[in-house]
Amino acid sequence: MSKNTPQEFGKLRAALWPIHGYELKKFLPMGFMMFFILFNYTILRDVKDALVVTAPKSGAEVIPFIKGWLVVASAFVFFFVYTKLTNIFSAEKLFYGIVIFFIAFFGLFAFFIYPNRELFHPSQDFIQQVQDSYPRLRYIVAIYGIWSYAVFYMMAELWGSVMVSLLFWQFANEITRTQEAKRFYALFTLIANVALIFSGETIARFSELEHAEGVDSWGVSLRWMMGTVVVFGAITMFIYRWMQKNVLTNPMYYDAAEAAQSKTKKVKKPKLGIMESLKFIFTNPYLGLLAILVIGYGVSINIIELLWKSRLKEAFPDPNSYAWFMGNFSKYTGIVTMALIFMTKGVVRKFGWMTAAIVTPLIVFITGGLFFLFIAFDQEMTLFMENIGLVGFTALMLAAYIGAAQNILSKGTKYSLFDPTKEMAYIPLDQESKVKGKAAVDVIGGRLGKGMGGWINQGLLLITAGNAMTIFPYLSIIVSVVVLIWLISVKALNTRYLAMLKASPESSK
């Protein structure tokens, strides 16, 4: 059977389902693995927020501290241990061991730790006393007061980075041939969004379950959701084992010698440190502008999310209602992202690079501005809505929904327009700048963007000893400045990008 696929499909088939019948035995189990891993991740991501945000003496303000300290530290520890274990165990045994470790914790949390949380956590009175004594450290103290929830948050974050970014893609890159990857990987993106939709609906349904009076409804919902995570984790291991026995033993689908030879041919990507990356970017204005784009997205989204989740707690104060909202949010994120990916195909070709690249910062600016408006003038906006007949629609509730729309549209345009245009911007560069430049922008942009947003949130909370609404005026100014710089950088980068394309030898072809 020929594996030269481009000529073997019609245009519609190539766009929607570029998979040969004989490849289903390999593609489908990989697709189901990704579906179940990301299904679990969505449940864990939404549950972790519901736990820590709605917990007593806590709030959305604890998230920057958990992410900045616990999650970062645990990631370093995990990858240190993982590198040691790779010298002892096979990749297959490591996969089973890591999945069992995760699902055992999540099952233990739902069925033992959470029901007995009062035994494990210090008393709320004690936490309140310490917070009153050290107001600037109130959210750090709050983490201690709900330490098991913070550990759950940390483990949920690790599931995303370990199971998705490390184990799944490591496995996929190992067994997928280059010609297969060109067709398989685009569909994996589609599967990821389908998983978002189904898992979001599952969260919403479990959060709406009716219970007898006196029953801890959130505890019951939590057990259903974590039970699903455990079952789907076990199914993922079963599929992985099935592939080891029935797919990877067939040379038609996988040849170990061929894979090893392919690895040796691959150009090793440089791993630049922070200082090397900074030096490389600062000596190249083009890469510097690219880094500003990535940093701008990371900083603005992290800051807006803190404010949005603090409003969500006010609008949906109990964990079941909060989880219900987040489940629906995840579902619509998947739907809108899929729609935008299909709708925005050809935007660059028809309207140019700048039009496609500027959509995301404009979306953040417009929707973020609306969100800030409802926060800053909540009483006036509530009164205005009552005057026009929208009784019952408070500014707080609308801020929660506008914040959700802002988040959904920002993420949707990031995946459909921002990421593709960012990758296109590397095309006119010379080979060294392409390889080292991408590594530098990924290090600086990815880490610094998320990190700066978290550091700003932490710093202002510690300095003011306040909450998200206390620091809202400062955050709104910072976001406005960051997005403005982002917009200016898009225009400046577009000028350089077009000039380099014209100067490129390939432009005449």
DSSP class of 121: S
Residue 489 lies in a domain: yes
Q: Which tokens belong to 168? A: 């799944």
pLDDT at 483: 97
Based on the domain organization, do 253 and 328 belong to the same domain?
Answer: no
Whether 262 has a pLDDT exceeding 80, the answer reads no
pLDDT at 494: 95
Instruction: Say which amino acid occupies 369.
Output: G
How large is the angle between the packed helices 395-413 and 285-315, nearest 10 degrees?
Answer: 150
Residue 75 lies in a domain: yes
Q: How far is CA 144 from the centre of its chain?
A: 26
Q: What is the pTM of this model?
A: 0.90
Residue 296 to residue 285: CA distance in whole angstroms: 16
Nearest to 252 by CA among 504, 502, 498, 2: 2
pLDDT band at 509 (very low <50, low <70, confident <90, very high): very low
pLDDT band at 292 (very low <50, low <70, confident <90, very high): very high
Whether 81 has a pLDDT exceeding 70, the answer reads yes
- Straight-line distance from the first to the last Cα atom of the chain, in angstroms, rounded to the nearest whole number: 34
With 0-12 CB in 10 A as exposed, 13-18 as middle and 19+ as buried, what is 187? middle
Query: Which one of 227, 248, 265 terminates a domain?
Result: 265
Based on the domain organization, do 283 and 294 belong to the same domain?
Answer: yes
Whether 150 has a pLDDT exceeding 50, the answer reads yes
Neighbouring CB atoms inside 10 A of 494's CB total 19
Residue 476 lies in a domain: yes
pLDDT at 423: 86
pLDDT at 481: 96
Q: Which tokens belong to 129? A: 């006393």
pLDDT at 386: 76
pLDDT at 507: 47
CATH number, residue 166: 1.20.1250
Based on the domain organization, do 35 and 159 belong to the same domain?
Answer: yes
Find out whether 400 and 315 touch, Cβ atoms under 8 Å.
Answer: yes
Find out whether 360 and 410 touch, Cβ atoms under 8 Å.
Answer: yes
Residue 304 lies in a domain: yes
* Over residues 168-188, mean pLDDT: 88
Find out whether 189 and 341 touch, Cβ atoms under 8 Å.
Answer: yes
DSSP class of 208: T
Q: What pLDDT digit, counting tens, does each position of 379-416 carry?
A: 887 787 777 776 667 788 888 999 999 999 999 999 89
Whether 212 has a pLDDT exceeding 90, the answer reads no
Residue 442 to residue 378: CA distance in whole angstroms: 39
Whether 4 has a pLDDT exceeding 50, the answer reads no
Based on the domain organization, do 315 and 341 belong to the same domain?
Answer: yes
Residue 2 lies in a domain: no
pLDDT at 391: 67
Lowest mean pLDDT among 173-187, 218-232, 250-264, 384-398: 250-264
Based on the domain organization, do 86 and 205 belong to the same domain?
Answer: yes
CATH number, residue 487: 1.20.1250.20
pLDDT band at 505 (very low <50, low <70, confident <90, very high): low
Nearest to 149 by CA among 114, 116, 115, 118: 114
Based on the domain organization, do 448 and 466 belong to the same domain?
Answer: yes
Based on the domain organization, do 360 and 373 belong to the same domain?
Answer: yes
pLDDT band at 508 (very low <50, low <70, confident <90, very high): very low
pLDDT at 175: 92
* Over residues 194-200, mean pLDDT: 96
Find out whether 417 and 356 touch, Cβ atoms under 8 Å.
Answer: yes
pLDDT band at 5 (very low <50, low <70, confident <90, very high): very low
Find out whether 328 and 479 touch, Cβ atoms under 8 Å.
Answer: no
User: When comparing pLDDT for 4 and 52, which is higher?
Assistant: 52
Q: What pLDDT digit, counting tens, does each position of 13-24 carry?
A: 877 788 989 999
Based on the domain organization, do 358 and 287 belong to the same domain?
Answer: yes
Whether 504 has a pLDDT exceeding 70, the answer reads no
pLDDT at 273: 62
Based on the domain organization, do 301 and 438 belong to the same domain?
Answer: yes
Who's near 77: CB < 8 A, 6+ residues apart? none
Q: What pLDDT digit, counting tens, does each position of 327-362 carry?
A: 999 999 999 999 998 888 888 888 999 999 999 999
Based on the domain organization, do 319 and 457 belong to the same domain?
Answer: yes
Find out whether 146 and 52 touch, Cβ atoms under 8 Å.
Answer: yes
Whether 439 has a pLDDT exceeding 70, the answer reads yes
pLDDT at 502: 85
Residue 229 to residue 501: CA distance in whole angstroms: 48
Residue with tokens 């993106």: 189
Whether 93 has a pLDDT exceeding 90, the answer reads yes
Domain with 488, as residue range(s), is: 267-501
User: When comparing pLDDT for 386 and 123, which is higher?
Assistant: 123
pLDDT at 194: 95
Based on the domain organization, do 258 and 338 belong to the same domain?
Answer: no
Rounded (to 5) percent helix, strand, coil in the chain: 85, 0, 15
DSSP 187-207: HHHHHHHHHHHHHHHHHHHHH
Residue 314 to residue 322: CA distance in whole angstroms: 10
Query: Which one of 210, 240, 265 terminates a domain?
Result: 265
pLDDT at 3: 44
Residue 110 to residue 105: CA distance in whole angstroms: 9
pLDDT band at 261 (very low <50, low <70, confident <90, very high): low
DSSP class of 397: H
Query: Which one of 248, 265, 282 terminates a domain?
Result: 265
pLDDT band at 259 (very low <50, low <70, confident <90, very high): low
Mean pLDDT estimate for the chain: 89
Nearest to 233 by CA among 38, 28, 89: 38
pLDDT at 491: 96
pLDDT at 198: 97
DSSP 264-294: HHSPPPP---HHHHHHHHHT-HHHHHHHHHH
- Total domains in the chain come to 2
pLDDT band at 377 (very low <50, low <70, confident <90, very high): confident
Residue 380 to residue 203: CA distance in whole angstroms: 34
Based on the domain organization, do 75 and 119 belong to the same domain?
Answer: yes
Number of H helices and E strands in the chain, helices first, is 24, 0
